Amino acid sequence: MKYSALFYWLIAIVTAGVAIAVSFYFDDTVRDFIMQHQNAGMRNFMRYVSLLGDWPLHAAVGLVLLGLTWRRRSEQWTRIFLAMLLAMMVAGVAATVIKRAVPRGRPSVHAVTRWGGPHFSSKYHSFPSGHVAASGAFFGVLFIARRRIGLACFAIPILIGFSRMYLGAHYLSDVVCAAVLGILCALIVAQFLLLPMANQQSN
């Protein structure tokens, strides 16, 4: 059983590494393609997606569902929604720290070098995408707890990531690395909050 788990972890790490490497390689290609296929209607739609896809709406939905499940005395779902909120918070903090520590100019910034710049200027907070990291962690926990529901909901962070690239706020690698960060945070939080619950049910 341990060897099987180790094998899956190895596959996941290799897959994430390849995805990150490929995303950096295609950063400019994807950015140029998106910029060449802009239209006003799509930009307005993506602005709404980006606005609604930020963490406050995720937090509001999570808190409402947490309150409802707590009132219904559903310990299982209460713990799931609590884990979703906590994972989103951890991912958001981690993304913010990385943005400050590793400034990267957004695609709209014209600079001699892409990396480096003012640590507290939002124009240099491209890496990683905070929107995608938070949303990925939020729905990542749901996927770990309830595969089918979580898989269907992964369309939300994917759409959010595309909206951030379409609006010129992030490169492809910003989005992919943020997704990896969000899933990692989801796994860590689930390990502490959801695994004990699963063990109790199996005993």
Instruction: Answer yes or no: is pLDDT of 91 > 50.
Output: yes
pLDDT band at 7 (very low <50, low <70, confident <90, very high): confident
Query: Does the pLDDT at position 1 exceed 70?
Result: no
The model's pTM: 0.92
Six-digit token pair at 149? 């529901």
Q: Predicted confidence band at 203 (pLDDT cuts at 50, 70, 90)?
A: very low
Helices 75-101 and 130-145, packing angle to 10 deg: 150
Instruction: Return the number of other C-beta atoms located less than 10 Å from residue 30's C-beta.
Output: 17
The pLDDT value given to residue 202? 45
Half-sphere exposure of 45 toward its Cβ, with a 13 Å CA cutoff? 8
The whole-number pLDDT of residue 4 equals 73
What residues contact residue 79 under an 8 Å CB cut-off, 6+ apart?
A: 193, 194, 197
Q: For 102-148, write each residue's pLDDT tens digit.
A: 999 999 888 778 898 888 889 999 999 999 999 999 999 999 999 99
Average pLDDT of the chain, as a whole number:
92
